[in-house]
Amino acid sequence: MKKKKVYISLYVLVPLIYTGIAILGVILTYQLFHSQDHFGRKDIINLLYIIMIISILAVSTSFILLRLLLNPLVNFFNKAQKMPVIAKTQKDEQNNISGDPSRMNEFFENVTTVLGKVEAEELFPDIVGSSTSMRNIFTQILKVAPTDSTVLISGESGTGKELIASSIHEHSERKDKPFIKINCVAIPEGLLESELFGHEKGSFTGATEQKKGKFEIANGGTVFLDEIGDMPLNTQAKLLRVLQEKEFERVGGTKMIKVDIRFIAATNKNLQDMIKHGSFREDLYFRLNVFSINIPPLRERKEDIILLANHFMKSLPVKLRLSNSALKGIIDYSWPGNVRELKNVLEQASILNEDGIIKPQHMPVLAEKSFQEMAGTDDGTMHLDEKLNLMEKEMIMEALRKAGGIQVKAAGILGINQRSLWHRIKKLQIDVNGIKNLQ
């Protein structure tokens, strides 16, 4: 049988505490001035009168102070709960701060989380992600963007490094200047220097006219060097000079060209390992790595998967929704191709499905690896804590889906109290809003 909780209002609790302290103080003070030998009936009556007066004053004063201090807080709490953005997380809860003081901390944590997500959506509309790790990256962007420091963005392929670079430029003082993107692996080695530095007429076969390079075009703005780990060594040396001296020569030219450029580089490779093997210059690495941003893979921020899935499905030509089993599948899958792979899988599923509902069979990549994913690592092992956390997360998500995202109902299904469920949701980083949106 579930225990019923009884909450004492602060309007009762605080006056009682202050009155008790005041009465205790009166009794102790009275005893200091009246010895037990002379403590008669008249003294007891006087003491009772004093206690009565002190009690009335204490209750009145504490009640007035509470109204002055707590009322604005309670009004804010009640109004905030009615706001749609807060109601999404607490629409199933009828709480009042004065009735349940322990809810205050939980409520303000929810408000802080919601405000953080709203800020992220407002400042970074092109980046989908509300996980703690992504909000930390947003904070890093806002810190480094106003500076001219060189930024090195690292992360696996498909994590969205270009979006992060673009956001840094958009929040910088150079946002009205050019943002030039250069993919170092997409340009043939023989043409890379010409693309970067430009060339003079007749400098090589086919150079029929003078051409400005990307660096010259980007003057005053930002250059994004994607896949910097694939840049040839001889070009790395010339890039280092541009970073240090802010000048270069066109291919076949003799005139120095001065530029004012902010550089952002990105890589999915381990540049430090490349330095050890002699395939990347150490001095260039330190010059690029003034400020580093590491984007975690999608498997380490699973709470963003539902948000991303919703975002991609909205852009598809047909209206779709994920079945419960498909939802579980995309959350459990490790996504080696990260965000790019998720987008491609959903596009594929939109073609294969027939009734507007995406099911696991519409996503062959999930069906192929589902057994391995659930079994654990490649060697079939998984730590006990990892298994328990995975099982707990699956049970909670299934209960939330059955309850339509309403935490009170989900807690009842699981046979635990609502506070315990809230803490588990927070610990396991479960996106309750995403589950509600998919209903």
Provide the pLDDT for residue 356.
86
pLDDT string in tens for the chain (439-residue length): 445 555 556 666 666 776 777 677 666 666 655 655 555 666 667 667 777 777 777 777 777 776 776 667 666 666 666 655 455 444 444 445 444 555 656 666 665 665 556 566 677 888 888 888 898 999 999 999 999 999 999 999 999 999 999 999 999 999 999 999 999 988 888 789 889 998 888 777 777 788 888 999 999 999 999 999 999 999 999 999 999 999 998 888 888 999 999 999 999 999 999 999 999 999 999 999 999 999 999 999 988 998 899 999 988 888 888 888 888 889 888 899 999 999 999 998 888 887 888 888 888 777 555 444 444 444 444 566 666 777 788 788 878 878 888 888 888 888 888 888 888 888 887 877 767 655 5
Structural contact between residues 225 and 264, judged by C-beta atoms closer than 8 angstroms:
yes
Global confidence as pTM: 0.64
Q: What is the DSSP string of 257-272?
A: EE---EEEEEESS-HH
Beta pairing partners, 222: 179, 262
Give alpha helix (H) positions in 289-431.
305-314, 324-332, 338-352, 364-375, 384-402, 407-414, 418-428
- The reported pLDDT for the residue numbered 98 is 47
Phi and psi angles of residue 291, each rounded to the nearest 5 degrees, phi first: -135, 125
Cβ contact 181:162 at 8 Å? yes
CATH level 3 topology of 299-437 = Helicase, Ruva Protein; domain 3 (1.10.8)
The tokens 């999608």 sit on which residue?
298
The third-level CATH classification (topology) of the domain covering 132-296 is Rossmann fold (3.40.50)
Report how far residue 341's alpha carbon sits from residue 337's, in angstroms, rounded to the nearest whole number.
5
- Helix, strand and coil content of the chain, in percent to the nearest 5, comes to 60, 10, 30
Q: Where are the domains of the chain?
A: 10-113, 132-296, 299-437
CA–CA distance, 303 with 26 (Å, rounded to integer): 57
Q: Which residues of 175-208 are buried (b: 16+ CB within 10 A; e: fewer)?
A: eebebbbbebeebeeeebbbbbbbbbeebeeeee
pLDDT of residue 57: 74
Distance CA 339, CA 426 (A): 23
Q: Residue 227: how many CB atoms within 10 A of its CB?
A: 18
Angle, nearest 10°, between helix axes 132-144 and 103-123?
50
